[in-house]
């Protein structure tokens, strides 16, 4: 799993940090999202996907990273 943030879109709603506190935090100064882990462990995947879906600004993109040894077709 790879996570990309679009901080220019972030409105500081904080849903991501509440939903996946192991992956996202908020900047102390401007309240915008901070990514704690660009490649979170599988234990955090469900929460990270949920947070991306809940973000009101669509500022989080979650993509499936190709695992070593997996085929090129999804």
Q: Does 57 sit near ligand SF4 (CB under 6 A)?
A: yes
From the list 12-20, 41-49, 61-69, the region that binds ligand SF4 by CB under 6 A is 12-20
12, 39, 65, 70: which one contacts ligand SF4 (CB under 6 A)? 12
Residue 8: CB atoms within 10 A of its CB come to 8
20, 23, 48, 60: which one contacts ligand SF4 (CB under 6 A)? 60
Distance CA 48, CA 40 (A): 8
Q: Which residue has the tokens 């995947």?
A: 45
14, 22, 25, 45: which one contacts ligand SF4 (CB under 6 A)? 14
Long-range contacts of 40-44 (CB under 8 A, 24+ apart): 40/1, 40/3, 42/1, 44/20
Binding site for ligand SF4 (CB under 6 A): 10-16, 26, 32-33, 55-57, 59-60
């Amino acid at each position: 799993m790879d996570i990309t943030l679009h901080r220019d879109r972030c409105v500081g709603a904080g849903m991501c940090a509440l939903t996946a506190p192991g992956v996202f935090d908020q900047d102390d100064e401007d309240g915008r999202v901070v990514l704690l882990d660009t490649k979170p462990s599988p234990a955090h995947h469900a929460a990270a996907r949920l947070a991306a879906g809940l973000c009101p600004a669509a500022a989080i993109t979650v993509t499936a990273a190709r695992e070593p040894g997996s085929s090129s077709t999804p």
